[in-house]
Amino acid sequence: MLQATTIPKSIDAKNGLLHLYQMLLIRRFEEKAAEQYSKAKIRGFLHLYIGEEAVAVGVTQALTDDDIILSTYREHGHAIARGINPEVIMAEMYGKLEGCSRGRGGSMHIFDVSKKFYGGNAIVGGHLPMAVGMALASKKQKKKTITCCFFGEGAAAEGEFHEALNLASIWKVPVLFVCENNLYAMGTALKYSHAETELKKKGVSYGIEASSVDGMDLMAVIEATNSAVQKIRSNGKPYLLVCNTYRFRAHSMFDAELYRDKKEVEEWKKRDPIPQFEQFLLQKQWITAAEIATFERKIEISVQKAVDFAEAGTWEPLDQLTKFVYSEK
């Protein structure tokens, strides 16, 4: 597994503070979302990203505004890291018209064309073939863009995963496959669903260069992603990056979480990527404890503004409920 033995070249005081802010914003947003869900303000399903923030921030920092992103239903962190306004995301989760999908997608279908963020996809593995198609379109159009596809290790046991990697390799398309391996596909441990648990080997078997990285270490993710993206831009070929990470919360808000030991969760929490990176910044004297506290207050205000925006949002009129669903003819 790749480790960050040196500070990535892209990390300086300015970027370091930005990355910390993004991770903290994702964490506090998710915590607030859980709170609003418990109040029945957010309905349907809710899958929290708490614990995995280093992956979203570490990967997206390597992408340009022209690059494409596809994600799973645990996508709030990716959306925030991509720069989608938290107010618009919260409004979408509330089901309000001011949401990025007019409130029609909800938590599992965050979508923003202006950010080239194409979901939020609820079908496990369903977006991997889409990512290959988008990358193929970029290649045919001679665009220098990369398609980045986030998915969990559960999707790596699906047929779409193998079909997507096979075609991506044959067609030599510029796609970055990012597997967020949090060890439990819903409630099934990795060892029970994969005959080969070293997931990067699955990419190698299709002739795709692959690597794995500690997904709890922001700098390791940045270093690995920067290297992968550089290779894709130079050779136009796909790459599989496996980020070994852990979700601190249950699979979803309905999950009784009977499949993993509480001691295991507590051990992983000791590797929380946010305090780890805070300590790095403090040691480099790029931030002070007082400035971290200021970050927290600023983020608290930002997250509350997102809630207030969603609360003040408007419901879709009843006479428009069939719009975009049934043909007018």
Distance from C-alpha of 156 to C-alpha of 179, rounded to nearest angstrom: 8
Q: How confident is the model at residue 327 (pLDDT cuts 50, 70, 90)?
A: low
- Rounded to 10 degrees, what is the CA torsion of 231, 59, 65, 97? 150
Helix 13-38 / helix 53-60 crossing angle, nearest 10 deg: 130
pLDDT digit string, tens, across residues 11-31: 999 999 999 999 999 999 999
Whether the CB-CB separation of 233 and 176 falls below 8 Å is answered with no
Supply the pTM of this predicted model.
0.94
Q: What is the pLDDT of residue 324?
A: 82
In the chain, the percentage of residues whose pLDDT exceeds 90 is 90
Q: Would you state the structure tokens that stand for residue 209, as one six-digit string?
A: 């260069």
Measured CA angle at 317 (ends 312, 319), to 5 deg? 175
Q: How confident is the model at residue 2 (pLDDT cuts 50, 70, 90)?
A: very low
Domain boundaries, the chain: 13-308
Average pLDDT of the chain is 94
CATH number for the segment(s) 13-308: 3.40.50.970
What is the arithmetic mean of pLDDT over 148-162?
A: 96
Distance from C-alpha of 222 to C-alpha of 213, rounded to nearest angstrom: 10
Does 106 have pLDDT greater than 90?
Answer: yes
Does 5 have pLDDT greater than 80?
Answer: no
Does 35 have pLDDT greater than 70?
Answer: yes
Sign of CA dihedral 22, 28, 32, 34: positive
pLDDT digit string, tens, across residues 303-324: 999 999 999 999 999 988 888 8
C-alpha 137, offset from chain centre: 23
